[in-house]
Structure 1
Amino acid sequence: MSAPILPDIGARLLYRDALLLVIDKPAGLPVHPGPKGGETLTDHLDALRFGLPRRPEAVHRLDRDTSGCLALGRHAKALARLGKLFAGSTVEKTYWAVVAGGPEAEAGQIDLPLARRSPDPRSWWMKADPAGDPSLTHWRVLGRDPEAGQTWLELKPVTGRTHQLRVHCAESGWPILGDPIYGGGPREGVLHLHARSLAIPLYPKREPIRAEAPAPAHMRAALAGCGWGG
Structure 2
Amino acid sequence: MTAILSKTQVHYLSVSAEQAGQRIDNFLQNQLKNIPKSHIYRILRTGEVRVNKGRIKPTYRVQMGDEIRVPPLQMTETETPSVPHAGILAQLSAAILHEDKQLLVVNKPAGMAVHGGSGVQYGVIEGLRALYPDAPYLELVHRLDRDTSGCLMIARRSSMLRRLHEQLRTGQLHKKYVALAAGRWPNRCHTVDAPLKKNTLQSGERMVRVTEDGKPAVSQFKVLRHFPEHNATWIQVEPLTGRTHQIRVHAAHAGHPLAGDEKYGIDDFNQKMRQLGLKRLFLHAQSLTIDLPDSEYHLEINAPLPPELQQFLDKLQ
TM-score (norm 2): 0.64
Q: By how many angstroms is 1:71 displaced?
A: 0.6
Matched, 1:97 2:176: no
Tell whether the 8 Å contact from 1:200 to 1:208 is kept in structure 2 after alignment.
yes
Tell whether the 8 Å contact from 1:116 to 1:123 is kept in structure 2 after alignment.
no
Matched, 1:35 2:125: no
2:191 to 109, 112, 126: 109
| Distance (whole Å) between structure 2 residues aligned to residue 118 and residue 99 of structure 1 | 25
| Distance (whole Å) between structure 2 residues aligned to residue 15 and residue 174 of structure 1 | 33
C-alpha spacing 1:219/1:136, structure 2 compared with 1 (3 Å): same
Q: By how many angstroms is 1:116 displaced?
A: 1.7
Q: By how many angstroms is 1:131 displaced?
A: 2.1
Counterpart of 1:156 in structure 2 is 238
2:248 to 166, 176, 181: 166
| Distance (whole Å) between structure 1 residues aligned to residue 215 and residue 239 of structure 2 | 14
Tell whether the 8 Å contact from 1:143 to 1:226 is kept in structure 2 after alignment.
no
| Distance (whole Å) between structure 2 residues aligned to residue 204 and residue 123 of structure 1 | 43
Counterpart of 1:11 in structure 2 is 94
Matched, 1:181 2:271: no
Tell whether the 8 Å contact from 1:4 to 1:39 is kept in structure 2 after alignment.
no
Instruction: State the superposition RMSD in angstroms.
Output: 2.5
Counterpart of 1:200 in structure 2 is 290
Counterpart of 1:22 in structure 2 is 105
| Structure 1 alignment gaps of length 5 or more | none
The superposition leaves residues 147-179 of structure 1 with CA deviations (integer Å, 9 ceiling, x where unpaired) of 111111000011111111000101111110111
Aligned-partner residue type, residue 29 of structure 1: M
Q: Which moved more, 1:194-203 or 1:77-86?
A: 77-86
Tell whether the 8 Å contact from 2:178 to 2:237 is kept in structure 1 after alignment.
yes
Q: Which moved more, 1:215-224 or 1:68-77?
A: 215-224
The superposition leaves residues 1-41 of structure 1 with CA deviations (integer Å, 9 ceiling, x where unpaired) of x9955633221111122211111000000011122133411
Q: Which moved more, 1:83-92 or 1:40-49?
A: 40-49
The superposition leaves residues 46-88 of structure 1 with CA deviations (integer Å, 9 ceiling, x where unpaired) of 3553x95325221101110100000110132322222222233
Matched positions, count: 224
Matched, 1:58 2:140: yes
| Structure 2 alignment gaps of length 5 or more | 1-84
Tell whether the 8 Å contact from 1:97 to 1:154 is kept in structure 2 after alignment.
yes
C-alpha spacing 1:175/1:139, structure 2 compared with 1 (3 Å): same
Counterpart of 1:71 in structure 2 is 153
Counterpart of 1:220 in structure 2 is 310
Counterpart of 2:299 in structure 1 is 209
Q: Which has the higher contact order (CA 8 A, sep 6+)?
A: 1
| Distance (whole Å) between structure 1 residues aligned to residue 205 and residue 293 of structure 2 | 36
Q: Which has the larger radius of gyration?
A: 2
| Distance (whole Å) between structure 1 residues aligned to residue 87 and residue 207 of structure 2 | 27
Counterpart of 1:88 in structure 2 is 170
| Distance (whole Å) between structure 1 residues aligned to residue 228 and residue 89 of structure 2 | 35
Tell whether the 8 Å contact from 1:9 to 1:44 is kept in structure 2 after alignment.
yes
Tell whether the 8 Å contact from 2:113 to 2:120 is kept in structure 1 after alignment.
no
- Percent of paired sites with the same residue: 36
Between Structure 1 and Structure 2, the one with more helix by share is 2
Aligned-partner residue type, residue 310 of structure 2: R
| Distance (whole Å) between structure 2 residues aligned to residue 5 and residue 177 of structure 1 | 26
Tell whether the 8 Å contact from 2:125 to 2:138 is kept in structure 1 after alignment.
no
Tell whether the 8 Å contact from 1:9 to 1:47 is kept in structure 2 after alignment.
no
